[in-house]
Structures are given as structure tokens and as C-alpha cells.
Amino acid sequence: MKKQQIFFFIFLLVVNSVFAQKTKQQSTSSDVNAEIGTQLDLYNSLFRELNLYYVDTLNIKEMVQTSVDAMLYNLDPYTSFIPEEEFETFRSQTTGEYGGVGAVISYDKKKGIFVSEPYENKPAYNAGLRAGDVFKEIDGQKIKESHTTSDVSQMLRGIPGTEVTVKVSRPGKNGLLTKKILREKIVLDPVSYYGVIGKKTGYILLNQFTDKAADKVKTILYELRDNHAVDSIVLDLRNNPGGLVNEAIDILSYFLPKGTKVLEMKGKSKSEDETYFTKQSPIMPDIPLVILINESSASASEIVAGALQDLDRATIIGARSFGKGLVQRSIPLPNGGYLKVTVAKYYTPSGRCIQAIDYGHKDERGEGYRTPDSLCREFKTAKGRIVKDGGGITPDITIKDSSTYNIVYALYEQNLYFDFATEYVLKHKKIDSPQRFSITENDFNDFKTFLKQNDFSYKLKSEKQLELLKKWLEAEGYQERSSKAITMLEEAMKVDTEKDIEQFKDKIIQLINLNIVERYYYQKGKAQFLLRDDKVLNYLLKKESKED
């Protein structure tokens, strides 16, 4: 009898606890819904009064779009509203497929919107469009200064099998060229180059984790294994922004035992929690594996690199990755459009989240806090090595490419490598192979003349910051006191264009060569050229040579 009383008492406590919790949740939910209603009433009232009293006519749609964009961006850069008419463009970024002409377009304030790269053997290329062609008219609609690259891209896209007529101006040609292009289903290859480097090292350059990226990598691995008998693999994920998580899991399956835990997702809602395991037997379970990453390797790239590092299955080489450990999902909205919303964070097998920026806590400028190295937590790999969270994947071997914001970048920013390559192509029907080509000394002198003809000038990034400092000193009343120091800094930072061109000659020539090679050999040739002077790969090949 006593036991029954105790049991009944415990039962009552549990029921009361559950009921209290449920009541609390309902109360909280009710409070939140009430607050949403209050704020939406405020928003509606504000809009009504603006529409009634503002001196000019309001563009309602544009204002709502601006407020929605600002609200979502305040959460994190990845949560956004996608209008219905832009969803196909968004979808093509994950599938790598769209209906169009197959060309990359860019904007230049002098030229306007132009073809920066026609994909080899795609409709634009087959119709005769070439890099440097400037769009003047598409299907009878003139291209104006107000048009953006997004506008022109939408004009060029369409249902496969339909025709689009474009008029372009071409350097070296008088008048406009008219091209009729038959649209196709464009499928972008996620792997721009693969092959054997060194003696028997297989190399794969994976650009993005789009739909069927894993299938492409699988086909290449079988070819490298069966036809070339490679004894190691390099998977290059540098500048790979990520993509579909399932593609990353499938690629991990090629190198890890079936059933290996490689990723966890944890969200606010339990429905977003998920644990991923490899689903198939590996193709290359034991082959030595190297993963290359840099500052632009993000998301799915970090899933692959992080899992292989945690499981001690690969050596990670390069520079610290971007640090995107947030997961997005697209939700259709009732009135059209989609909400792309961050729903979870992902965690590597050791338990670390490599998200670099905490968007939930903002500084005085409204920017998320970056986790300092001192606060990164330590985790252990399968073999007990120390790895850290809080800021991307730190390579096992760090080899950082030197980046610069001097004259080398200024020439790129002003499209001068590109424009010189356009002129070069007019004078040269063919060039040497990507592995051997380089401009001559006379060509480099022509480039310097070309810069003078285009009135090239530039400012150092530090010079721009100095101008900002001068404004602040003036505003705060310290202009006179600091004038001598400012004058000395201005003198030290004076740009000598001719001297800078000679100082950075090697890097400038490399980028001229790259732009020219791309005109003749396209994406594959560009990749082959870049491998010539690749700092990271040269390190690997030297190491391979020493071991032999």
C-alpha cells in the first residue's frame, strides 16, 4: 500500500511537470504571436501614413523588398527572400543547370555589359560570341546604362530550343555584329580539370558541390584508379563555395568505410536535427589523400575537409577555410517567392562547429563577432590529434598564397588584363600550349604602352584609408597637430606607376598570360596554366620527389 502511494505521488509530480511545461510553452508561443501581431500593426500603420502624406509617389513593391532584405540580412548574410522570378537562377546555382546560351557576363563602367567568358562548345560559343563582345541589343531591346548583369542574364536565359538574337560590338570590328543563338539546357561541369600530376598522383579540381558532382568525381576516381594506376589523390577544394550537403556526403563515402559518421546538423527545431553516415562501400579506402583548401573554401568544402581531418583520413593543406557552419533551407511562400533561411549548424565528427562569425551577437557597427583564436575550443581527431572549432578548418600544413592590393589588383579591378588579352587575340591566331605559353618582352612593353593609352592610375588601399583618417582628424580638431605626420605619410605612399610595374612584373605577366590562355583554351586550359606555378602543388610534387 505504501509503495502504491509513493508511485502515485511520483506519477502526479510527473504529470504536473509535463502540464506546467506545456502550459509554459503555450504561454511563450502566445506571447510571441501577440508580439508579432503588434509589430505588424505598427508596420502597416507606418506604411499607410507614408503613402498618405509623403511628398512623392511611393514605389510600394520596392520599399517592401528593401525592408524585407534589411530585416533578413540583419539575421545573417545567408537568410534571404527569393522572388518567384529569380528562383530559377537560384536553383541553377545548386543544380548547375539552366536554360540559356552558356556564357559568363560582366560589367565595366566604360564598356557596359560584356561577355567575359563563353563556355566552350556551348550555344554562345557555337554562334560566334567571343570574350570582349559588348551587348548592345537583345531581341530588339536596347541595352541601357540602367541595365544590370542580372537583367541581361534574364534576357539571355529561356526555354531550351528557343532562339535569342543579340547585337554586340566587338573590339577591332566596325559596326554591330548580329548573332542568332539557339538556347540549350546548360549543364555546368563541377570538375573543370582532372589528370595525373607528378609521377602517379591523381588530381581533381572540384569547383562546386552541385547536383551530380559526386557522380562526376566517382567516374574520375574509377578512371584514375583503373586506367592510370595512381598511388595518391589530391582533391582541390580551393575557391569552392560549397553547395549540396548530400553531394559532400557521397564524396566522403568514396574514401571512408560504409556507415562512418561524418556530419551532424543541429537546429532550433528538432525536425532539423540530422546525423549523416557514409552510405556505400569506398572506392579508395586506403589510398593516400590530400585535400587542398583556402580562404574561399566554404560550407560543403569544409564538411569534406573537416570530416577527413577529424577521422585522420586525409592531410589538409593550404590556408584556413572560410568558416561557414550554417545550413539553409528554401521554404515556398503562399504569395510566390521563397524564403531561404538558416535552420541549423553543422558539426564535424569530433563535435566541432567551424562557424567563424556569431551573427546572434553584433558589435557597435551591427556586424557579427568573429570568434577569436583564444576562445576556440579544442577537440580530438580519431587518433588523438588536437583540432579547434570556431573559425574554419585549419590545415595540417599551412601554405598561404600571397594576396596583394597594390598595382596587381588595381589592374585586375579595372579589367586591364582582360582588355589587353582582347587586343592580343586580334593579332595572334594561335598560341603555345597552356603549360608552355608566355608573352614576350616585346608583348610586355606593348602592355605598358596600352596602360598609358588607357590613362591607367590607381591608389593604394592604405592611401584611401589615409584620406579617411584626415577627415576624422579634421572633424575632431587634430588637423594642425598631425599635419607634419600626415605629410610624411603622404610622401611615403606616393604611387610610382612605372616603378611598381617593374617591381611586380612577374605577377603581372602571370595574370596577362592567364587571361590570354583562357581565350584560346577556356576553362580546362586555365586550370592547366594555373597548375604550372601552383605553390601548394609544387610543395607536394617536391615532397613526392624527395620520398622517391
Q: 103 φ, ψ to 5°?
A: -150, 145
Cα–Cα dist 508/15, whole Å: 74
533: closest CA among 435, 441, 443?
435
Q: 538 φ, ψ to 5°?
A: -60, -35
Cα–Cα dist 237/293, whole Å: 5
Amino acid identity for residue 203 in this structure: Y
DSSP type of residue 396: S
Grid coordinates belonging to 243: 553547395
The alpha helices in 311-377, defined as continuous H runs, are none
Mutual angle of helices 245-253 and 300-310, in 10-degree steps: 30
- Residue 265, judged by CB atoms within 10 A of its CB (0-12, 13-18, 19+), counts as middle
**β-bridge partners, 204:** 194, 235
E-strand ranges in 150-227 read 163-169, 176-182, 184-187, 191-197, 201-206
Q: Is the dihedral of CA 475, 478, 480, 484 positive or negative?
A: negative
Cα–Cα dist 28/17, whole Å: 16
**Catalytic annotation on 324?**
yes
- Which DSSP helix (H) or strand (E) runs through 360? strand 357-362
- Which DSSP helix (H) or strand (E) runs through 342? strand 338-347
Which residues, 6 or more positions from 132, have their beta carbon under 8 angstroms from its beta carbon?
A: 114, 115, 170, 171, 418, 419, 422, 425
Cα–Cα dist 468/464, whole Å: 7
Grid coordinates belonging to 96: 548547375
**Catalytic annotation on 136?**
no
Q: Are 71 and 80 in contact (CB under 8 A)?
A: no
Cα–Cα dist 374/39, whole Å: 40
- DSSP state letters, 484-536: HHHHHHHHHT---HHHHHHHTHHHHHHHHHHHHHHHHHHHHHHHHHHHHT-HH
Q: Are 129 and 166 in contact (CB under 8 A)?
A: yes
Which of 80, 192, 299, 301 is labelled catalytic? 299
Which of 122, 167, 324, 526 is labelled catalytic? 324
Cα–Cα dist 506/407, whole Å: 12
CA angle at 139 for the pair 135 and 145, rounded to the nearest 5°: 40
SS3 content of the chain, % helix, strand, coil (to 5): 45, 20, 35
Q: 462 φ, ψ to 5°?
A: -65, -30
Which of 133, 236, 250, 310 is labelled catalytic? 310
Q: Are 58 and 46 in contact (CB under 8 A)?
A: no
Q: Which residues are catalytic?
A: 299, 310, 324
